[in-house]
């Protein structure tokens, strides 16, 4: 019986032991399952976090892209506004702010050459109604050429020894003879007039088509012109007609009937010379354009160092200069030496506006009433004590159709 008890006891203990092992195994399995679920849950959370981060990054990216797009839109709008402003500024600069149906454009070719060239073009709307050209060039003082005014005074000191500055128009006969000896077939004035007659009545656009051709075709187009410089002279005129740097307006009864006249003079001392180009209709001055030339140290000019023209300067740094082109520099000298508060350009413009529409007798009457060494009260805006001298220059131009 004891033996049976022991066997039964042993079986019970073994059974309990297996039950305990089974429980431990189940617990470990459960723990493993829990760990697996936990890891999977964590992975899901991590994935969700990553997805959220990605979504957030995507949203931030979209915000950045939207912001960038908005900035680009603003930049583009600013650029368009800037372009529009530039366009408006360009249109303003291209539209002469002058009154009248005649506009005189004065210009100086922007290229180095053997001559210092003056060009004045009269336009009415988009058409050229007349044009004027003269070229100043150095010659030997023993060649029989008449120098520009004040060549025998202090102004002449700016040229190299033995050289003299002369106007081709003022010396049209000796210059034409020189050209004839060199094989020229026409006179200086024949050539100038062939060019100016060619441009009359044509629009700037029509003339631009001509100057875009080669020189040979240009020569063929301009009847009566044989000088090699003819294509350049035509280009100078077209460029001047588009240049509004130095302009003045006037009112004509019939713009196509105006005539340009020209003269040289010395209205202001002996260190310079001047020229006047006037648009004349009947007995009236419709418009006038004046400028003055002086040797100026470090002056602005296309005929500076490197040009053939500059070879005849006494001092390569002291160059023949237009006072209009050197308005800032010359006006500063006027302010320092004479206390002037009005620029040379403003003075010239005041004189030009005063004579517009007046007869020669009316201008002469003003000159007669002027007091030497004083400004002319009748000429509003002009403070130069030599104002009467410039008025006389304009009268002389009216009475001297020198370009014919």
Give SS3 for 323.
Answer: coil
**Backbone dihedral angles phi then psi of residue 85, each to the nearest 5 degrees:** -65, -40
pLDDT of the residue at 314: 97
Neighbouring residues of 291: CB distance < 8 A, sequence distance ≥ 6: 106, 118, 246, 274, 275, 322, 323, 324, 348
Helix (H) or strand (E) holding 132: strand 127-140
Pairing mode, strands 116-124 and 127-140: antiparallel
Supply the DSSP symbol for 311. Answer: G
Exposure b/e, 288-307, CB count within 10 A at least 16 = b? bbbbbbbbbeebbbbbbeeb
Ordered per-residue pLDDT tens for the chain, 404 residues: 443 334 333 333 334 333 343 344 333 433 333 333 334 333 333 443 333 333 334 334 443 444 444 444 444 444 444 444 433 343 333 545 788 999 999 999 999 999 999 999 999 999 999 999 999 999 999 999 999 999 999 999 999 999 999 999 999 999 999 999 988 889 999 999 999 999 999 999 999 999 999 999 999 999 999 999 999 999 999 999 999 999 999 999 999 999 999 999 999 999 999 999 999 999 899 999 999 999 999 999 999 888 999 999 999 999 999 999 999 999 999 999 989 999 999 999 999 999 999 999 999 999 999 998 899 999 999 999 999 999 999 999 999 876 55
User: Strand order in 272-281's β-sheet?
Assistant: 259-265, 272-281, 284-297, 318-322
pTM of the model: 0.77
Neighbours of 340 (CB within 10 A): 17
Between CA 5 and CA 319 the distance in angstroms is: 142
pLDDT of the residue at 403: 52
């Amino acid at each position: 019986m004891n033996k049976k008890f022991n066997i039964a006891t042993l079986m019970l203990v073994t059974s309990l032991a297996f039950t305990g092992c089974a429980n431990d195994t189940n617990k470990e399995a459960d723990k493993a399952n829990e760990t697996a679920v936990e890891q999977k849950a964590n992975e899901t959370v991590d994935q969700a976090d990553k997805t959220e981060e990605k979504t957030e990054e995507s949203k931030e990216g979209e915000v950045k892209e939207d912001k960038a797009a908005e900035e680009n839109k603003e930049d583009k709008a600013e650029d368009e506004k800037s372009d529009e402003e530039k366009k408006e500024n360009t249109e303003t600069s291209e539209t002469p702010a002058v009154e009248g149906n005649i506009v005189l454009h004065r210009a100086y070719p922007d290229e180095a050459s053997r001559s210092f060239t003056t060009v004045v073009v009269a336009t009415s709307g988009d058409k050229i109604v007349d044009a004027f050209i003269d070229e100043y060039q150095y010659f030997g003082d023993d060649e029989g050429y008449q120098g520009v005014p004040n060549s025998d005074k202090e102004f002449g000191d700016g040229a190299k020894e033995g050289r003299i500055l002369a106007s081709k128009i003022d010396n049209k006969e000796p210059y034409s003879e020189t050209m004839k000896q060199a094989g020229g077939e026409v006179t200086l004035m024949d050539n100038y007039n062939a060019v100016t007659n060619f441009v009359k009545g044509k629009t700037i656009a029509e003339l631009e088509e001509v100057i875009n051709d080669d020189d040979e075709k240009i020569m063929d187009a301009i009847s009566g012109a044989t000088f090699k410089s003819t294509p350049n002279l035509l280009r100078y005129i077209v460029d001047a007609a588009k240049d509004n740097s130095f302009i003045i307006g006037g009112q004509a009864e019939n713009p196509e009937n105006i005539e340009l006249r020209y003269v040289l003079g010395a209205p202001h001392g002996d260190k310079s010379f001047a020229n006047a180009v006037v648009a004349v209709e009947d007995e009236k001055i419709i418009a006038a354009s004046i400028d003055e030339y002086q040797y100026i140290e470090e002056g602005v000019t296309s005929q500076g160092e490197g040009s053939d023209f500059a070879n005849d300067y006494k001092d390569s740094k002291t160059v023949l200069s237009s006072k209009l082109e050197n308005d800032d520099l010359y006006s500063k000298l006027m302010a320092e030496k004479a206390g002037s508060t009005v620029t040379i350009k403003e003075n010239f413009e005041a004189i030009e506006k005063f004579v517009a529409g007046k007869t020669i007798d009316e201008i002469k009457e003003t000159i007669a009433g002027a007091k030497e060494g004083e400004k002319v009260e009748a000429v509003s805006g002009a403070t130069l004590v030599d104002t009467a001298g410039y008025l006389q220059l304009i009268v002389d131009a009216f009475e001297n159709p020198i370009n014919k």
